[in-house]
Structure 1
Amino acid sequence: MSKIIAGIALAALLLLPTLPSHAAQVIDGIAATVNEDIITKLEVDREYTQLLKEAEKLPASEKMGLKSAALSRLVDKRLIEQKIKELDIKVSDEEVKAAIDDVRRQNNNMTQAQLAQALAAQGTTFEQYKAQLKEQLERLRLMSQEVRSKIQVGDRELREYYDANRTRYGADEQYRARHIFFKLDKNPTAETLAKAESQANEVLKQAKEGKDFAELAKKYSSDPNAAKDGGDLGTFKRSDMVAEIGDTVAAMKPGEISPVVMSPAGLHIIKLEEKTVSAGKPFDDVKSEIEDILYKKKSDERFAQWVKDLRSSAAIEIKQ
């Protein structure tokens, strides 16, 4: 339990809405019923306000439909609350206190008075916060019992993720490539650009047809060294090159020839000869970190499906 508690950030906890008792809200109008519980319009308005805060930096086009999303989120919350009661999931006062202590430690060892002050700035009392935290811990315990305990992450999955994300763990991808370069002035005329593109596309066609790339570079490239090295760019990292070339090479497989690429210097046709990855951190050193990532991903997916199944078996009536 302590491991779960330790992962709870203060900011996330402060976002949990404080919901008055259902009986006191009936006069506000009913927005929906979930089995025998009601969701009032006031609750929907409060949840909508919270969603607006969370989405304040998003463009206006992505804020459409937030009112419906607020009601949907409340339906899910109500279903989860009902399941917690059904399974008789309890969180003790001692566990809540331990969670609060962990939150204070994670926030520069703030005192309880400082925590209360931070909560007040958010419009929340300390008692409301304790109640919200208890609900959050109940949800985490429910998720652990109903979802996480049924998830497994195999060694093969861990290894596949590691191999696909080596650069995330300190490995460097290095490339060996050749290019055929068609130099352009800083501000070429439309006619000059069109002529260069036409020539580049003709050379690209020859390269795609299987003609020797190095020989094509010797014949057509504006790079003065190409006559000797056949357009060899040597071995480099993605960041060593201008973005247009680095990004292109990073998306290629050895042996592939790129389309015509424009950089500030001109036009390029690139052939990736080889791609290598340096060692980086050993698999055993990052195995537990990868396991946490995959475990969370599977948990989120399974939890979403679990809530969807709850919805399908519940009596839900939307009044709005």
Structure 2
Amino acid sequence: MLRVLNVSQEEILYHIRISCQIPSLLEGIATRKIIADAAKQADLKIEPEELQQAADNLRLANKLLKAEDTWAWLKKYHLSVDDFEELAYTNLLSNKLAMHLFADHIEPFFYEHELDYAGAVIYEVILDDEDLALEVFYALQECEISFQQIARQYIKEPALRRAGGYQGIRRHIDLKPEIAAAVFAANPPQILKPIMTPKGVHIILVEEIIQPQLDEQLRVKILGDLFAAWLKQQMAELEISAQIEDGNSSTEAI
């Protein structure tokens, strides 16, 4: 039989404090206030049908496909139906503010940073010994051994070894500068001369260079990045002061 443990609001606040979560909690509150104030200044409005769609999107994002799923989710997070609507409203307001501030900045930002969004399909093996790496590289050049063979021989991590060292599509900004410069100067398919980094000596097969396209997915990412940078700047200009009471009054500022 399950025992019931009653937890008071005071105990919840005390746990938040002693687990050092107050600063992140205050930042979250401040972010909501910044968004609300900026949306008010911009005179942004939320229409009922927009809010309904935002609520549907929230359910979908949390896999709340049935009414009982929604009720269980609300119970788990101690939320009311009004809280759920407020959460949907906040998400929608944040998205509308981001569009209001940066919709016209997406294309200029993309073309200014186009190289950052280029992608490369690469395979990689990292060795500890530079002489061995050069020996392997020249053997690959002479077709004495395949990249899959050296991956099976030198990669220790099982899943990566089975995949032949496949790294997926890596963007320019995902790679160390010395590796990115060589990868995106390659003429695929090409095996790069070994590159030394603090991780070891990298032998990289560049299979394909993918030129960036400003599709909807990338638009959403750029919009999110611009909005996040704006919020970070707003936070940097803000001092957060909160009155926290635990029997004694104290003021915390971050």
Report the TM-score when normalising by structure 2: 0.54
Tell me the residue number matched to 2:91.
Answer: 136
Q: Between the two proteins, what is the percent identity of the paired residues? A: 11
Q: Distance in 1 between matches of 2:41 and 2:195?
A: 61
Tell me the residue number matched to 1:154.
Answer: 110
| CA displacement 1:54-103 (0-9 Å, x = unmatched) | xxxxxxxxx6x432332233233323323333333221222111222334
Q: Is this contact kept in 2: 1:119–1:125, CA < 8 A?
A: yes
Tell me the residue number matched to 2:40.
Answer: 85
Question: Shift in Å at residue 271 of structure 1?
Answer: 9.7
Q: Is this contact kept in 1: 2:102–2:227, CA < 8 A?
A: yes
Q: Distance in 2 between matches of 1:130 and 1:257?
A: 53
Is there any run of 5+ residues in structure 2 with no aligned partner, and where?
Answer: 1-8, 157-164, 166-175, 183-191, 243-250
Q: Secondary structure at the match of 2:145?
A: strand
Superposition pairs of residues 199-210 of structure 1, within 5 angstroms = none
Q: Which one of 37, 52, 55 corresponds to residue 100 of structure 1?
A: 55
Tell me the residue number matched to 1:74.
Answer: 29
Question: Shift in Å at residue 149 of structure 1?
Answer: 4.0
Specify the code of the residue in structure 2 equivalent to 1:283: Q
Question: Shift in Å at residue 277 of structure 1?
Answer: 1.5
Q: Secondary structure at the match of 2:36?
A: helix
CA RMSD, aligned part only?
A: 5.0
Question: Shift in Å at residue 129 of structure 1?
Answer: 0.8
Superposition pairs of residues 51-66 of structure 1, within 5 angstroms = 65-66=20-21
Specify the code of the residue in structure 1 equivalent to 2:123: E
Specify the code of the residue in structure 1 equivalent to 2:152: D
Structure 1 residues 157 and 107 mapped into 2: Cα distance closer, same or farther (>3 Å)?
A: same
Q: Which one of 227, 231, 244 corresponds to residue 299 of structure 1?
A: 227
Q: Distance in 2 between matches of 1:75 and 1:128?
A: 18
Greater Rg over alpha carbons, structure: 1
Structure 1 residues 74 and 234 mapped into 2: Cα distance closer, same or farther (>3 Å)?
A: same
Q: Say whether 1:242 aligns with 2:154.
A: yes
Question: Shift in Å at residue 295 of structure 1?
Answer: 4.0
Specify the code of the residue in structure 2 equivalent to 1:300: A
Structure 1 residues 107 and 271 mapped into 2: Cα distance closer, same or farther (>3 Å)?
A: closer
Q: Is this contact kept in 1: 2:58–2:88, CA < 8 A?
A: no
Is there any run of 5+ residues in structure 1 with no aligned partner, and where?
Answer: 1-40, 53-62, 182-212, 218-227, 263-269
Kindly tell me the number of residue pairs found equivalent between the two proteins. 199
